[in-house]
Amino acid sequence: MGILSILRKDLLRYLRNPIRTALLFSIPLMMAVFFGAVFGGEDGGAVKIHVLVWDEDAGLITRFLSGAANNPEMSQHLDLELVGPEGVDMMEKGEASALLHFPKNFTNDYLDGRPVTLEILKNPAETFLPVVAEEGAGIIAEFLSETSMIFRPELIQLRRMISSDRLPTSVDVSLMAGEAIEKLHSLDQWLFPPLISFEEEKAPEEEVKAQSILAFFVPGLAMMGALFLAQNATRDILSDRESGRLKQLLTAPISSSEYIIAKNLSVVAISLVGFFIMIAFGAFAGVQWGPALPVAAIVLTASLVASGTMIFIMSLVRTRAQAETFSTVLIILWCLVGGAFFPLSAMPKFLLPISRFTPVYWAVDAFGKTMAAGQKISAILPNLGILLGLGILFFICGTVALRRRVLGGINR
Amino acid sequence: MIKISGLRKAFGDIQAVDGINFEVRDGEIFGLLGPNGAGKTTTISMISGVLRPDAGHIEVDGLEIWKNPREVKGILGVVPQEIALYEDLTPLDNLRFWGRLHQLRGRKLEEGISEALDRVGLAQRAKDRVSHFSGGMKRRLNLAMGLLHRPKFLLLDEPTVGIDPQARLAILEIIREVASAGTTVLYTTHYMEEAEELCARIAIMDTGKILSTGSVEELSRQAGEGEILRLEGEFDEQDLQEFISTRPGLKLLRAEKGKAVFSIDPEGPGLTDILPEILQSAIKISDLSIQRPSLQSVFIALTGRELRD
């Protein structure tokens, strides 16, 4: 009964301090919202590449290529903006991922078979998006080169038509088109049937919904929130000891072991509540967590690790100041290395083996697996095993050391 | 009865409690008086089951605390020196929590809380946050927590430290009331006037040892502290020296023209014998006063004037 009384009192203290409690629980939420806004864009999900196009040529080919970006499928991912020379200044200000420059006479030189240059200027402040833009420009260049080689006579004809003072007759156009189609047919034996076929299968929309960008951050931030909540809750043990409350508590008919168990339960309860708030927030913001049972299992084991770790730290230090410094540094390091702030897929290769030593990694990795469609609890059993093992280890070591320290800390 | 025998506790090289023996009789207020660092708090911690002694026995109502911790803790009320309250909670929350730890539930708990709050005069502030309370109010609430489960024995560890005289008087009055209702009280303090005013018997403790135990009168006798006699009149120091030279129980403490202060040995002839002799001597007195020995003089005589760190 003493254990329940202490647990009840600890939870009551959170209710009696609503502002402090709200602040505590809202820090990871605010970080998730911030990360989502920064990386997710206004539509909250799809990433668009902003590319500036400086078309000095304004010829048939360059206008055709620029117009292709208006294709509805393309425009989901590509945000093309036509600019003049001021595009270079815009790039210096970092306003776009890349600048594509079609120089003067691009169309005429291309049609005449002279070498042409497609220039691309990348934003050095960005990592991924300019590379995507460069790859896109490379594909265009390749396409134009191959087309030039295969359809050289037709392109020469086209060049004549464009430069002629009179409009081409329908006979000229149909002759050129017929030759081009004939050439295309002659390529059939080389192109069809393709050696490797590609099939696109779309899952029914109700089964797999688009994953929110927050799915990359919320699991790690939930783990971080649980660690910080556990840190705050365990601080109370030192506060009890320093204020003399612990000494008075032990004059009641409860043992020091009961006290430690009650405090451990309080810490787990608080970090569990924090975790579930983040899960609910993520679900509300469009994160597809996956099946409930595996997610609940991850939350439970991750909360155990968070609480056990903090209790273990409290058992090692002498003062609250030491506890706060040491545990905050550890939480930030674990979250940085363990993938709480960046997707694990974006982590440098040398960090990945190190990240496996942090419980944050195993929790984030487990959430990543449950989010993947069709995953069952068996897929995350190794993660659960590691989290549970670490949790139990930290709990036992922390409880034994803390009990000794609590009793040793009673003043004279 | 609380019976302490051969109690010892050391912290490293420091012998905090060094083989003490004393008894607190049922229904009495027993004072443990000593300077800072004397070992009073360590003694209370051991009696209340927070600290395990290195040696010795503690019996509370015939039960050994370390053999029957729950039973003994159930009949002990402890008011620590530190204000051990949750300041972000209300007095009601604090008392409910404390009552539940003492296995009080339902009506019994609510009645206990109401009675404790009434007794310490905080019933009107039961739903305010403790953090808004003055030091004196917090001390009273601390006391209410010790009284909540109506303990048979109340251990108070310097419960009036750092509060104003009004709050101090209120707390002493509450303790008197509790004791008169039959609760046995063990009261530690370094305030001599408190011990003198409140306690039937006092143990003077220093450097982990009990130096003397008894009522103020008994302590005075044990410390060799006699009554003080002050004279005024027409006499000089030579008259005085002549008078005391034949009376070994009388000691001249201070003498100046027309004024003298004597101490009377408690083991020698008493005032009733000495006064007639003075009146018949060459010492012409116009005024005289007699001062009984104070606990302070006994305390200083026993513990010395050395500063404690």
Q: Classify residue A256: in a domain, yes or no.
A: yes
Measure the CA–CA gap between A185 and A178, rounded to whole angstroms: 10
What total of structural domains would you count in chain A? 2
Provide the 3-class DSSP secondary structure of residue A117: coil
- Decide if A253 and B81 are in contact by the 8 Å CB cutoff: no
Contact B78, A250 (CB under 8 A): no
Q: Spell out the alpha helix ranges (H) of B181-306.
A: 192-198, 216-223, 237-245, 271-280, 295-303
Asked if residue A330 and residue A231 are part of one domain, the reply reads: yes
Measure the CA–CA gap between B309 and B37, rounded to whole angstroms: 8
CB contact A253 to B (< 8 Å): yes
Task: List the 96-125 stretch of B: residues with Cβ below 8 A of A.
Answer: 97-98, 100-103
The domain boundary residue, chosen from A100, A118, A150 = A150
What mean pLDDT is predicted for residues B136-141?
92
The domain boundary residue, chosen from A134, A150, A166 = A150
All residue ranges of chain A with pLDDT < 50 are 44, 410-412
pLDDT the model gives residue A111: 85
Q: How many CA atoms lie within 13 A of A251 on its CB side?
A: 29
pLDDT in tens, B145-193: 999 999 999 999 999 888 888 888 989 999 999 999 999 999 999 888 8
Q: Return mean pLDDT, chain B.
A: 88
CB contact B49 to A (< 8 Å): yes
pLDDT the model gives residue A407: 63
Asked if residue A77 and residue A112 are part of one domain, the reply reads: yes
CB contact A249 to B (< 8 Å): yes
Contact A150, A183 (CB under 8 A): yes
CB contact A12 to B (< 8 Å): yes
What mean pLDDT is predicted for residues B130-148?
92
Asked if residue A261 and residue A128 are part of one domain, the reply reads: no
Tokens of B41: 């708090």
Beta strands in A19-97 (DSSP E): 49-55, 78-83
Task: Tell me how close the Cα of A238 comes to any Cα of chain B, in angstroms.
Answer: 13
Instruction: For an interface test with A, give the residue of B101, B104, B130, B188 to mutate (most A CBs within 10 A).
Output: B101
Closest CA in chain B for residue A408: B51
Q: Classify residue A200: in a domain, yes or no.
A: no
Task: Tell me how close the Cα of B216 comes to any Cα of chain A, in angstroms.
Answer: 28
Q: State the distance between the two ends of chain A, measured CA to CA, in whole angstroms.
A: 29
CB contact B88 to A (< 8 Å): yes
Q: Cβ contacts (< 8 Å) between A13 and chain B: which residues?
A: 86, 88-89
CB contact B30 to A (< 8 Å): no
- How would you label B21-35 residue by residue, b for 16+ Cβ within 10 Å and e otherwise? ebebeeebbbbbbbb
Asked if residue A345 and residue A404 are part of one domain, the reply reads: yes
pLDDT in tens, B229-256: 888 988 888 888 888 888 888 888 778 7
Tokens of A388: 């549970």
CB pairs under 8 A between A and B: 83
CB contact B42 to A (< 8 Å): yes
Asked if residue A122 and residue A239 are part of one domain, the reply reads: no
Asked if residue A381 and residue A312 are part of one domain, the reply reads: yes
Q: Classify residue A107: in a domain, yes or no.
A: yes
CB contact B67 to A (< 8 Å): no
- Decide if A252 and B16 are in contact by the 8 Å CB cutoff: no
pLDDT in tens, B266-298: 777 878 888 888 888 888 889 988 877 777 777
- Decide if A248 and B145 are in contact by the 8 Å CB cutoff: yes
Q: Classify residue A207: in a domain, yes or no.
A: no
Asked if residue A123 and residue A24 are part of one domain, the reply reads: no
Q: How far is residue B266 from each of residues A212, A252, B270, B275, measured CA to CA in Å? A: 93, 46, 7, 15
Q: Cβ contacts (< 8 Å) between B45 and chain A: which residues?
A: 247, 410, 412
Asked if residue A114 and residue A248 are part of one domain, the reply reads: no
Measure the CA–CA gap between A55 and A83, rounded to whole angstroms: 7
- Decide if B69 and A412 are in contact by the 8 Å CB cutoff: no
Asked if residue A310 and residue A228 are part of one domain, the reply reads: yes
Domain of A127: which CATH number?
A: 3.40.1710.10
Asked if residue A133 and residue A82 are part of one domain, the reply reads: yes
pLDDT the model gives residue A412: 39
- Decide if A5 and B93 are in contact by the 8 Å CB cutoff: no
Task: List the 179-208 stretch of B: residues with Cβ below 8 A of A.
Answer: none
Q: Which of B50, B89, B97 is closest, CB to CB, to A250?
A: B50
Inform me whether the pLDDT recorded for B84 exceeds 60: yes
Task: Tell me how close the Cα of B51 comes to any Cα of chain A, in angstroms.
Answer: 8
Q: Cβ contacts (< 8 Å) between A263 and chain B: which residues?
A: none
Q: Classify residue A184: in a domain, yes or no.
A: no
The domain boundary residue, chosen from A150, A170, A195 = A150
Q: Spell out the alpha helix ranges (H) of B246-292.
A: 271-280
pLDDT in tens, A225-270: 888 888 888 888 888 888 888 888 989 998 888 888 888 889 889 8
Q: Which of B83, B89, B101 is closest, CB to CB, to A252?
A: B101
Residues in chain A: 412
Q: Cβ contacts (< 8 Å) between A1 and chain B: which residues?
A: 100, 103
Of all residues in chain B, the percent with pLDDT exceeding 70 is 96
Q: Classify residue A168: in a domain, yes or no.
A: no
Q: Which of A279, A227, A304, A243 is nearest to A32 (CA)?
A: A279
pLDDT the model gives residue A162: 77
Asked if residue A89 and residue A11 are part of one domain, the reply reads: no
Provide the 3-class DSSP secondary structure of residue B157: strand
Q: Classify residue A175: in a domain, yes or no.
A: no
Which region holds residue A219: left if phi is over 0, alpha if psi is between -120 and 50, else beta? alpha
Q: Classify residue A127: in a domain, yes or no.
A: yes
Of all residues in chain B, the percent with pLDDT exceeding 90 is 48
Residue A240, domain extent: 3-40+213-411
Confidence grade of residue B56 (pLDDT, cut at 50, 70, 90) = very high
Contact B202, B267 (CB under 8 A): no
Asked if residue A81 and residue A109 are part of one domain, the reply reads: yes
